[in-house]
Structure 1
Amino acid sequence: MQPIQGAQARPPGEPPSPQTTAGEQPLSSHQRTVLERLITRLVALTHQQSAEVWATLRHDLGLQSETQLLSRHFPAAEQSLSQKLSTAQDSHATRQVLQQLTELLGQGNNRQAVSDFIRQQFGQTALSQLTPEQLKTVLTVLKEGQIAIPQPQQRPQTDRPLLPVEHNTLNQAVTKLAAATGESGKLIWQSMLELSGVKSGELIPARHFALLNTWLQARQTLANQAAPTLHSVQAALKQPLEPQEWREMTDYAQQRWQVTPQNILTTAQVQDILNQVFLRRAERAPDFLEARNVQPIYNPFIAPFITPIKTLTARPGIALLALLVVMILFWMLI
């Protein structure tokens, strides 16, 4: 008797071996359905393409890009996708909390109140440095009114508005930016007013001039780049980010959009990053009024008498003679 063509002859009495073991079978319909549901949920949260997620999954399992998943791959594949989904859900929840906080920070004096709260409670100075649980705590206490909202402080008289030449410089930069981006110059000015924290009809304080000029120049530079990244933002700034600022911006971008310094940013993301740089630097800026600029209260009415008095006190003999002359004149007038 001849063996079946394509099959090897086996010794008499040995049971037939199966063509493949159970683990070498392709994914069952149930297994594939489980993985596809996980991928669908992951795509909805991360905005990745389904094919991209499948390719990443094969890479995580150590398979070639076109290798078919088998039943033995299912447990590891399900665990990998479940972990990615859990991470994506946490990131999505954090983004929602940050979005709600951002909306509330623009109301009244909430920004100052939250800044004081996180400094006292967590020893931090920026929301990007907080854990997801700490962010939830901040949102909860802010929404429930458990944070003391300080009254807006009046600007000191030395916090002067922009000079005409400073205003003209900014206006020229706005015109160039509008020409490069097609954005309305009026909207650019409105963004600058909001960044400076002034209301409609108020004047921008001069202490924001340098920051606004840097903001405009950076936007102008980045508008001409087809694929900007965080490194591009760093290079476009007239005053580059310091190490602490760089960490804050990379953490902010990672938490808000899950992007790294190498990822390409959208136009909206670039502008948001530049806005964050402005706001952080504005909060850290030193007071405009310095001690050496403070004039004594007698100035200018009795300033002409100060120098002669200092001269007399430095020479006691002359001072005594002057005192005697004054006393004689006073006695004669009486």
Structure 2
Amino acid sequence: MQPLSGPPARPPGEGLNAPPAAGELPLSTRQRTVLEQLITQLCSLTRQQGAEVWAGIKHDLGVKSGSPLLSRHFPAAEQNLNQRLEAATQNHATRQVLAQLTGLLNQGNNRQAVSDFIRQQFGQTALSQLTPEQLKTVLTMLRQGELSIPQPQQRPATDRPLLPAEHSTLNQMVTRLAAATGESGKQIWQSMLELSGVKRGDLIPAKQFPHLTTWLTARQTLSQQSAPTLHSLQAALKQPLEPEEQRSLTEYARQAWQVQPQSVLTAAQVQDLLNQIVLRRVERERDRELNDPRYVQPIFSPFAPVLDLLRPATGRPGLLFIALFVILLLFWLLV
């Protein structure tokens, strides 16, 4: 008899090795690429490292730290990363809004205005307690100048000197301009004092703050341009030129420097033209204040009481004589 051909007999219950199920295979190249791209985006928005994020995913999915992710883990891992990325994106946007708000708080009375607004509108006392949408609302209103100090807390801008926060803002801007131009901070401050028209030892009035910030910002912007012109100078102003100002500046540049709108300006010409803008705006404000009825002083009439005395005395000669004597005495004393 010939032996039967084929594989040798196996013990009962011991069959051929079956291939692993699809879900038990390691992550495919495409799956790993998708997860790695999401992790890269997440790391760019946070301070986390890639290995830390991988470990966090395994922890959330219940996978042991020493075990690899399998294909069946991919859907849950992708969803986990998308949720993390969405939260990180929102947090990043909120941090940016907070940073912009913080930069504006040191200007003028913005800090007090924002504090009053969020307490009245949202019942909060700190920016960190606001929602992202509330923070955006505050930032938008602050940029548009819709937040102001309540009337009882305001002081006349024409009388008061610079607030500490306003002085600090100017000092920071002077430092940046000095670093950009090589000019000394002391010299820049001296130019600002001359533009403000204050005497040595006097304080800069708060009403000059907008003009000085415009002057400093424009100088900072133009110092970074290799070929500034009249057009770029006008574009650098925080408060745009009015049509009459624009005509006057163009005429001044032509007469003083023989400069046309398309001509390239030197550093000296840029500073002189910016000085002219500020000086003319300060002069225009001064004229407006002098013509404002609130600043017109009544004409003093020292003889008004005497004339009032003469009216009832005109019908009584005795009193009229006394009144005339009083007038002559006053005239003698004044002379």
TM-score of the superposition, structure 2-length normalised? 0.41
TM-score of the superposition, structure 1-length normalised? 0.41
* Greater relative CO (CA pairs within 8 A, separation 6+): 1
Bigger CA radius of gyration: 2
